[in-house]
Amino acid sequence: MNIKITPNPTPKPKPDVNGLQFGKVFTDHMFIMDYYGGQGWVEPRIVPYGPIELDPSCKVLHYGQEVFEGMKAYRHADGSPVLFRPEMNFRRLNISCQRMCIPAFDEAMALEATRKLVELDADWIPDAPGTSLYIRPFIFGADNALGIGPSEHLIFLIICSPVASIFGGNMAAVNILVETELVRAVRGGTGFAKTGGNYAASLLAAKKAQVAGFSQVLWLDGVERRYIEEVGAMNIFFRIDDEIITPSLDSGSILPGITRDSCIQLLRSRGHAVTERRIAIDELCQHMRDGRVREIFGSGTAAVVTPVGGIQVCDEFFTINDGKSGEVTTMLYNTLTGIQTGKVADEFGWVVRV
């Protein structure tokens, strides 16, 4: 499929990298294509970034048929832009599509579109430490009709935003609150899919946590409210003695993070024992009381690897590693960002040149 490019005649000035907030400014171009029942995906094009017009009856606004991805482009030391495991994002986007009754798209074509877009807006990729170009592909149902059912018109967009590290960088540890009432995802639900509704369902708990002084919520499973699932937009890892444990994905209510997968592979390659299994909050609490929990960290594209310095479970607050990043967390952060920016050898072949 040929991607038609309409260059932006009025490029914007670039923002100051020091004041970058997550997802607030966008580059000069965006990718867009449509799906029409009977025709398939048509008219892939790159156009100047700007508003899109939607009818008030547009289905996504009412019933939330939507999926998205989050990936990053980095600038290597030699100045060339690279992507990190982008084929994994488009594979996962198609899996999300299937759950949300959105027709599949050609993954190779979407990757080609991403490459073209990043190439065109390459001078928007910041190169200060911890910065990158965040890439947000998303698809939504765009029928103008209030009847419930999958849309026959869908719109696929890719937009890009220069970002700093989501929690301000510097490996600052965050405090998290275990949510014991509200749930994010249930077995048989949409937890494994990257869909807006999961986030809508999490806002209230996140607000409660923020009011109480915590930056994130740690979710428990939606059935027994006992097994640890994940944190907002991060998967979670616990270093208990010398074993690293992360919740297994088989419940279907945890998002299978690409950073999670990269961390597991990196840790194993460095000789660490990593176990994917169910872990109950009461088990974790016992290990914390026994002083066996040496590190906790979250993983995600936006957050990279973020140390957890404290965790509140009901009335108990546990400080982890004196509220600082631990050695495994810091090693992972340095290795991952090093591979992404070309400072560490890419032994797994994760980096893709634009």
Ligand X SMILES: *Cc1c(COP(=O)(O)O)cnc(C)c1O
The conformation of residue 123, written as its DSSP 8-state character, comes to: G
The window from 54-62, 227-235, 309-317, 332-340 that contacts ligand X (CB under 6 A) reads: 227-235
Smallest gap from Cβ 301 to ligand X, in A, equals: 3
Binding mask 241-270 for ligand X (x = CB under 6 A): --------------x-xxxx----------
Smallest gap from Cβ 57 to ligand X, in A, equals: 28
Site for ligand X contains 296 (CB under 6 A): no
Smallest gap from Cβ 73 to ligand X, in A, equals: 14
DSSP assignment of 127-175: -STT-EEEEEEEEEE--B--SSS--SEEEEEEEEEEE--TT-STT--EE
Smallest gap from Cβ 259 to ligand X, in A, equals: 3
Site for ligand X contains 235 (CB under 6 A): yes
**44 vs 300, which CB is nearer to ligand X?**
300
Q: Measuring CA to CA, which residue among 164, 118, 44, 128 is closest to residue 352?
A: 118
Other CB atoms within 10 Å distance of the CB of residue 78: 6
The window from 75-83, 207-215, 294-302, 313-321 that contacts ligand X (CB under 6 A) reads: 294-302
Site for ligand X contains 58 (CB under 6 A): no
Q: Measuring CA to CA, which residue among 237, 270, 266, 272 is closest to residue 254?
A: 237
Instruction: Yes or no: say if 124 and 75 are a contact pair by the CB < 8 Å rule.
Output: no
Query: Which tokens belong to 338?
Result: 């090093």
DSSP assignment of 300-342: ETTTEEEEEEEEEETTEEEE-GGGS--HHHHHHHHHHHHHHTT
**115 vs 260, which CB is nearer to ligand X?**
260
**89 vs 341, which CB is nearer to ligand X?**
89
Residues that bind ligand X (CB under 6 A): 70, 194, 230, 233-235, 255, 257-260, 299-301
